[in-house]
Structure 1
Amino acid sequence: MARTGGGGSDPLPRVLDVPSSTSPPVPVRRHGWRDDLGSEALYELDRRGASGVLVYLFCWLGIAVSFDLFDQTPALAWSATAVMVAIASVRLVVHLSFPAMIARDPVRARQAHAVMPLLNGLTLSVVTSFALRWEPAAAAHAALVLVAGIVCATATMVFAIDPVIRLGMPLTVLGPYTLVLVVGLHAADLLMTLLILVFAVYVLRASEHVYRDYWTSQSRGAELSDRAAQLQQLSETDALTGVANRLHVDRQLHEEWARTRRDGDQLSLLLVDVDHFKSVNDRYGHPAGDLCLREIAAALVGSAQRTSDLVARWGGEEFLVLLPDTGPDDAHVVAERMRQAVAALRPLVGSTELRVNCSIGVVSVSGSWMAAHGPAAAVALADDALYTAKRDGRDRISVAVT
């Protein structure tokens, strides 16, 4: 069938401003104890901590065995071992059940995850403090201080994306030991205290960069994902009418065609053409034609009703409606509803109310028919039916026979 004039040229979609490396810094949100970090960050924390579940226990057992602490200080050695075994067991249970915990209550999952390494650090600090002041354990003091420093720096960096652990780890690992040093009031102890404070400040400052880098990248990633979704939507949307464009509906048609053919269902197509649209453009101008197309598109979308139905601008003043799982009777009902909705429109151009009508070609195909034909054949049948509706007087529906 001959196509009549279009509704004016479509404006090009606005180009989105995608963040670049020179974009201003993204504000980093500060997370409190009761804040939800988000499932992605929680899974990342669990992944980072999984390899360290038994590290504290093995480090302690290595030192205790090397310096014969189970014989020299059995109460301290066995007590610390029992505590670390208990914490490691709980950490292992938390790790194995973490996905379920996140699904149930992400805030409590985060809190449970944060408490475990802090308790490990606190236990190590208490043992190191005993070694500082208790003669039977003094031989292991230097090794414990070295391990405590390494654990403090490593765990703070590894878990820096959670500010509770980032701030809590230096406090729990270094705090009790520093307190014991200060109480001693010896010059050497005060110097050691100063070195620990400098070390703690360094670790906190360094971990601040890790925290900021992670959450800045998360913010950037979320922003880029949103922009990508917007660009995807723009690429699938007709800029004038806001409905799907031909590229999108053509892709959806092929997908539905394959699904319908596989499942043996029915698929219906409606080809809608605005009657005498060229005369609207010629008499009132392209802006009036664009107004009519926008209102007609809205009327068609409002008449489709199901979320699976797709209304698209096929070209010019033509629209293609895709109706999955729809037979000929139901397709005719939808077509009639659309015809009446368009006929009820009164686009206002200045002080003039326009009357618009449409003709609709309907085709319904089954899986067996699809086995021998492609989507283009169905569209051609709908176009033939539309031509019949135009020939028979317009403002009517014609159903193709397959």
Structure 2
Amino acid sequence: MAAEAIVHQPEGSDAWLRVWRDIVKRAMPGIFIYPIFWAVIAASSGFHKLHPALSWSVVAALTGISIVRLINAIYLTRVQPEKRQVWQGLFWFGILAHSGIYGSMFALSLLSGNAQFSLLMAFSGAGIVAGGVNSFSPSRNLAYAYAIVFLSPGIVVALWSQDLWVEAGFIVTYLFYMWNLVRQQNAEYWVSLNNERTLALQSRTDSLTTLNNRRYFDEKLKELCHLSSRDHMNLSILVLDCDFFKAVNDKYGHDFGDECLRQVANVLTTNLPRATDVCARYGGEEFSIILAGTDLQGAQLVAEKIRNKIEKMEIKYKNITTKVTISVGLVSVRLDNFEVGLPERLFKYADEALYLAKEQGRNRVVCSVASTALQAGKVKTASL
């Protein structure tokens, strides 16, 4: 999996999901290639006439495994992270079962005395192995295991038979070639994926504070509104603004103002209760937070904790020391259904609560009336 390939690989459930989505997508076209190739080769070479029971048994086994793999592929990228090991293990089982059975039939073809059967199995086996290691190369261990399980029966049979030393040499050489191919393709995959993730991170990150930016916040708010509506959960949004920040910039300069924003951002990230909470610089001196699964009381506690920490914090930069305060507007509702425009309306309620906090004297937390008077799906723009 992710930890199996090379250094600098991303970790966590998101990385795992991305890698296995790629592997499943790559492997999908070849799921039924095994029973199809075997049936065609056994019939065209005459092998099925000499060994009908074995031929049909192999067709049945390969087809059954293909069906299991198809079902597994459909569900693998949908499972919860805590259940992924079971489905990933089943994926491995299907891959290695296919390679083991087909590889054993290839080994049998070396002893069959049927030149056409041996030739077709050799050509098809070489192509299947090459395609397989390419498909599974994001997981280097899986690709290695696949090639070894597929080719080992042929190597053993060729070495055991004293007149197949040349064939044994070819198979071993091909295995080493596949081994090196896996290493190269695995490295290329992870370099490409890391570059992609770096660009994605840059596109969603505020360069000054290293918080998420407005674009990411808006995308995440929409996603969490969908999820919270589906699960009938609470969702809280906080909008925070530094009080009299223009005066700070005018008095101390923009360099000091930038440092002030960085230190405020640090307080926000270090005082959020969960790693899954979303914190972003929404623009200028305004920040925004999403607390999924948090009710009004919990959101108020978080907001007051942050407000209190910032009020007591001293901003120090180049022999200059000052203090700042923040005003906070929040909305917290239980979402029962999703409507078009719901994320925007909820953010507007929190933003309007922020303006009320400013009007009431700043350095305070104000809750939107939507938090107590309204339910998601019933909210109206004119409610406030």
Q: Same fold per TM (> 0.5)?
A: yes
Matching of residue 237 in structure 1 with residue 205 in structure 2: yes
Is the 8 Å Cα contact of residues 253 and 322 (structure 1) preserved in structure 2?
yes
* Unpaired runs of at least 5, structure 1: 1-25, 27-37, 66-76, 129-143, 181-192
Is the 8 Å Cα contact of residues 299 and 341 (structure 1) preserved in structure 2?
yes
Counting aligned pairs with the same residue, the percent is: 24
Matching of residue 121 in structure 1 with residue 106 in structure 2: yes
Pairwise CA distance, 1:223 = 3.3
Give per-residue Cα distances to partners, 1:310-341, cap 9 Å, x unaligned. Answer: 22212111112234455544432222111012
Alignment-derived partner of residue 151 in structure 1: 121
Pairwise CA distance, 1:396 = 2.0
Alignment-derived partner of residue 255 in structure 2: 287
Matching of residue 163 in structure 1 with residue 152 in structure 2: no
Q: 1:158 corresponds to which letter in structure 2?
A: I
Q: Using the alignment, how far apart are the partners of 1:110 and 1:262 within structure 2?
A: 35
Q: Using the alignment, how far apart are the partners of 1:171 and 1:89 within structure 2?
A: 25
Pairwise CA distance, 1:344 = 3.2
Pairwise CA distance, 1:250 = 2.6
Matching of residue 361 in structure 1 with residue 345 in structure 2: no
Give per-residue Cα distances to partners, 1:240-268, cap 9 Å, x unaligned. Answer: 11222122223334455566678776544
Is the 8 Å Cα contact of residues 310 and 321 (structure 1) preserved in structure 2?
yes
Matches within 5 A, 1:2-401: 40=24, 46-55=31-40, 57-59=42-44, 62=46, 87-88=58-59, 90-98=61-69, 103-104=88-89, 111-128=96-113, 144-160=114-130, 161=133, 162-164=146-148, 167-168=151-152, 171=155, 179-180=162-163, 197=166, 216-217=184-185, 219-256=187-224, 267-307=235-275, 309-364=277-332, 378-401=346-369
Q: 2:317 corresponds to which letter in structure 1?
A: V
Pairwise CA distance, 1:53 = 3.6
Is the 8 Å Cα contact of residues 155 and 171 (structure 2) preserved in structure 1?
no
Which has the larger Rg? 1
Q: 1:288 corresponds to which letter in structure 2?
A: F
Q: Using the alignment, how far apart are the partners of 2:61 and 2:232 within structure 1?
A: 53
Is the 8 Å Cα contact of residues 156 and 203 (structure 1) preserved in structure 2?
no
Q: 1:157 corresponds to which letter in structure 2?
A: G
Q: Using the alignment, how far apart are the partners of 1:106 and 1:371 within structure 2?
A: 38
* Unpaired runs of at least 5, structure 2: 1-5, 7-19, 73-85, 134-145, 370-383
Give per-residue Cα distances to partners, 1:203-223, cap 9 Å, x unaligned. Answer: 887887777667755543443
Q: 1:118 corresponds to which letter in structure 2?
A: G
Is the 8 Å Cα contact of residues 107 and 157 (structure 2) preserved in structure 1?
yes
Q: 1:337 corresponds to which letter in structure 2?
A: K
Query: Judging changes above 3 Å, is the alpha-carbon distance between structure 1 residues 375 and 85 closer, same or farther for their aligned structure 2 residues?
Result: closer
Query: Judging changes above 3 Å, is the alpha-carbon distance between structure 1 residues 124 and 256 closer, same or farther for their aligned structure 2 residues?
Result: closer
How large is the Cα RMSD of the aligned pairs? 4.5
Give per-residue Cα distances to partners, 1:334-379, cap 9 Å, x unaligned. Answer: 22111012123233323444322212223445769x9898655554
Q: Describe the SS at the equivalent of 2:212.
A: coil
Is the 8 Å Cα contact of residues 125 and 172 (structure 1) preserved in structure 2?
no
Q: 2:37 corresponds to which letter in structure 1?
A: G
Is the 8 Å Cα contact of residues 249 and 310 (structure 1) preserved in structure 2?
yes
Q: 2:89 corresponds to which letter in structure 1?
A: R
Q: Using the alignment, how far apart are the partners of 1:95 and 1:371 within structure 2?
A: 41
Q: Describe the SS at the equivalent of 1:54.
A: helix
Q: State TM-score, norm by structure 1.
A: 0.62
Q: Using the alignment, how far apart are the partners of 2:126 and 2:340 within structure 1?
A: 65
Q: 1:302 corresponds to which letter in structure 2?
A: T
Query: Judging changes above 3 Å, is the alpha-carbon distance between structure 1 residues 262 and 84 closer, same or farther for their aligned structure 2 residues?
Result: closer
Query: Judging changes above 3 Å, is the alpha-carbon distance between structure 1 residues 216 and 273 closer, same or farther for their aligned structure 2 residues?
Result: same
Q: Using the alignment, how far apart are the partners of 2:104 and 2:335 within structure 1?
A: 64
Is the 8 Å Cα contact of residues 217 and 278 (structure 2) preserved in structure 1?
yes
Alignment-derived partner of residue 185 in structure 1: none
Q: Using the alignment, how far apart are the partners of 1:372 and 1:58 within structure 2?
A: 58
Q: Using the alignment, how far apart are the partners of 1:357 and 1:261 within structure 2?
A: 34
Q: 2:107 corresponds to which letter in structure 1?
A: L
Which structure has more relative contact order (CA 8 Å, sep 6+)? It is: 1
Q: State TM-score, norm by structure 2.
A: 0.64
Q: Using the alignment, how far apart are the partners of 1:371 and 1:356 within structure 2?
A: 38
Is the 8 Å Cα contact of residues 311 and 325 (structure 2) preserved in structure 1?
yes
Q: How many residues align?
A: 322
Query: Judging changes above 3 Å, is the alpha-carbon distance between structure 1 residues 92 and 372 closer, same or farther for their aligned structure 2 residues?
Result: closer
Q: 2:358 corresponds to which letter in structure 1?
A: K
Q: Using the alignment, how far apart are the partners of 1:163 and 1:338 within structure 2?
A: 55
Is the 8 Å Cα contact of residues 267 and 309 (structure 2) preserved in structure 1?
yes
| Further displaced range: 348-357 or 106-115 | 106-115
